[in-house]
Chains A and B, each alone.
With several copies, the nearest count.
Chain A
Amino acid sequence: MNDRSEATCTLGEAMIYQIARTIEDGIVAFHGFGSPLVQLALHLAKRTHAPRLVLVAGATYGVNPTPPFLTPTTNDWVMNRGAECHLDIEELFDLAASGRVGRMFLSGLQIDRFGNLNVTCLGQERLQLKLPGGGGGCNLSCDVEHVTIWTGAHRATVDPKGRRRFRLVESCDFITSVGHRTAEGRTRSEMRYRGRGPDRIVTELGIFDFDESGHARLAAVYPDVDVATVRENTGFEFPVRDDLSSVPLPTPEMVEFIRALDPLKIHERELGLKERARRFSLG
């Protein structure tokens, strides 16, 4: 491999590192299906700062697997090779409901300021677009201790009619999984959910945390992104941390690890062509 590739990381690799940094050691963490960025982040975390992580792979429910490579579908024997043991589907969700799952990762085609997500359907009055659905996200967003929200498509697009389509929206057409406030404005503590809700939104533009009111707040941006860019691509107003920082970048060893585990570059499928071309110097 050439010098350049050694000296830089891609946006995808940088995002994987941002997600990995949200994962504590010694907890049970679970990823759903169709989330290669998260799968790689979990393996990276376990390989680096979280060796005691109980990594439960989505779909196979294999515990601490060591897959030879990443596949485009999650319920594949490739993905649970070397698993220490397996859980039943009900066992994983019981662990979450009893407060024993420390972190889960959720995404959405709509993400609002409180971290509510929609992956069920678009259209208020009538159904305009049926989305695949949220799997267990609805239950886990209530039960799991912490949630990392991520998306590789923060950047707003323009639809055929010339309207800007936001991923981070003013409000969700349907609430598939809950953040810090319900549609009726009730807080998590009022709802007496077991979990504490999302504490990060990792996107290809930056990273949000949540302020005391449960509102998304910009905490960091990528080296090639400024706050204005984040604002014009976000469907709601948001506060910015005084100590706004540039996202930390992975070490070359981490990048090597990611590339070795994902030779098919499955994780890039979460990113648009333009985003895939972004590179950051590790120098």
Chain B
Amino acid sequence: MNPAVHTQADKRCELAELVAHVREGDCIAIGGGLSWREPMAALRELVRQRIGKLRLVGSAHGIDVDLLCGAGLVAESAESYVGFEQDFGMAPNYRRACESGAVEVRDSCCYTLVQQLRAAIAGLPFMPIRSVRGTGFMALHPEYKTMICPFTGEELVLVPALRPDVAILHAQYGDARGNLCIEGPPVADILFARASKKVIATVEKLVPPEELAEKGVTIPYFYVTALAEVPYGAHPTACYPFHAYDRRHTAEYYRLASEGAEGFHDGYLQPYAYGCASQAEYLEAIGGAAVLERLACWQESPDAWMKLYE
């Protein structure tokens, strides 16, 4: 009934074990946003383990949700945005899955999501919100209710608490106890961590507790179920300061995804997900050290950084 707190002394595990915390049909909150700090290695492991019928909730996402849709693991999407912005445009696998009916479209909005997560975090059945009324989202979400405010007489929307089964995050640093340090925009990761029943995380680097405390704890350990050290676990999305966004790989992803389900399966899923037993094999498959060095060069100069987007 009451959400657990996670206090085991050592939460480190292998990626396969980590991702096994996800069950078929779970409601999943994916951390990061757009091309930033997506837990891609964990999602590729989901693909390998073929854990499906997932119900996704989140704000602005891209290749992460598109990959899961392309692998046929998604039953429902309540994201607020899934696409590649001006970079490449619409998300090919996501579109196909929605338009074919494979994925039930339950689009949401950022603040609605925030309020639903806040309700879960505060142990409340719902949170009020003044917006949403008058939009198509009311019909899309029959679970929303309305009330007349006893203080002002205005109509308010009541959005139910949203407690994801599992939050899947990628952070720069973590310690064995599960404390996580996120540098740069946390996006909705902190809300996801506080609201979800389980939190599993990959980290670029495991560090001693003292070092983590020094860097600053973004997500306290007792929210975190398990974590695995997976360098470049966000690739091809960015995980600064370690590496920038791999636009070249994403372009190839997009080209293959645009070729249709089969082309994507044979051209992308096979070589980069099913065909890679480990993250090490994946890193070889994407080009190995040469590529990783290129993505690390962003700090050298604005020009060097800019070249990564050409």
A residues engaging B (CB < 8 A)?
Answer: 26-28, 33-34, 36, 51-54, 59-63, 68-69, 71-78, 80, 83-91, 93-94, 96-100, 102, 118, 120-121, 127-143, 145, 174-178, 182-184, 186, 191-194, 263-264, 266, 269-270
Contact = CB atoms under 8 A, between A and B. Distances in A.
B150 interface: no
A134 B109 contact: yes
Given A85-B220, A99-B3, 11 more contacts: A59-B36, A63-B220, A73-B87, A84-B177, A96-B111, A127-B99, A133-B79, A175-B135, A175-B136, A186-B134, A269-B86
Contacts of B99: 127-130
Contacts of A178: 134-135
Given A59-B33, A77-B184, A194-B130, A264 B309 contact: yes
Most-contacted residue by chain A among B4, B114, B217 (CB, 10 A): B114
B144 interface: no
B289 interface: no
26 contacts: A26-B7, A61-B185, A69-B302, A72-B247, A75-B33, A75-B36, A75-B60, A77-B238, A77-B240, A84-B177, A85-B217, A87-B220, A97-B111, A97-B129, A99-B1, A118-B136, A120-B107, A120-B136, A121-B98, A131-B90, A135-B60, A139-B112, A141-B131, A143-B131, A191-B133, A194-B123
A34 B83 contact: yes
A142 B185 contact: no
Nearest to B155: A192
Interface stretch (B45-53, B165-173, B188-196): B188-196
A84 B136 contact: no
B35 A75 contact: yes
B187 A75 contact: yes
Given A73-B85, A77-B238, A176 B134 contact: no
B3 A136 contact: no
Minimum-distance CB pairs A-B, first 9: A99-B2, A132-B83, A136-B110, A98-B123, A34-B85, A142-B131, A85-B217, A139-B111, A130-B98
Contacts of B8: 52
Contact of B59 (A28, A89, A94, A182): A89
Contacts of B302: 68-69
B221 interface: yes
A278 B55 CA distance: 45
B110 A93 contact: yes
B121 interface: yes
A134 B154 contact: no
Given A76-B36, A89-B59, A94 B194 contact: yes
A176 B34 contact: no
B282 interface: no
Given A78-B305, A142-B134, A85 B245 contact: no
The main secondary structure of chain A at its interface with chain B is loop
Most-contacted residue by chain A among B9, B111, B209 (CB, 10 A): B111
B256 interface: no
B176 to A, nearest CB: 12
Nearest to B189: A89
B57 interface: no
A76 B120 contact: no
A93 B184 contact: no
Most-contacted residue by chain B among A60, A91, A136 (CB, 10 A): A136
Nearest to A51: B9
A138 B112 contact: yes
B13 interface: no
B306 A176 contact: no
A88 B59 CA distance: 13
B159 to A, nearest CB: 11
Contacts of A96: 111
Contacts of A131: 90
Given A85-B220, A93-B114, A99-B3, A138 B185 contact: no
B310 A264 contact: yes
Contacts of A191: 133-134
B272 interface: no
B258 interface: no
Contacts of A98: 2-3, 120-123
Contact of A97 (B91, B124, B154, B191): B124
Given A100-B3, A138-B132, A90 B80 contact: no
Interface in B270-310: 298, 302, 305-306, 309-310
Nearest to B33: A75
Given A59-B33, A97-B124, A128-B99, A174 B3 contact: no
A113 to B, nearest CB: 16
Given A77-B240, A86-B185, A130-B105, A175 B91 contact: no
Contacts of A69: 302, 305-306
B213 interface: yes
Contacts of B132: 138-139, 142
A91 B111 CA distance: 10
B194 A27 contact: no
A54 B190 CA distance: 19
B137 A138 contact: yes
Nearest to A135: B81
A68 B305 contact: yes
Given A61-B185, A133-B79, A139-B110, A94 B123 contact: yes
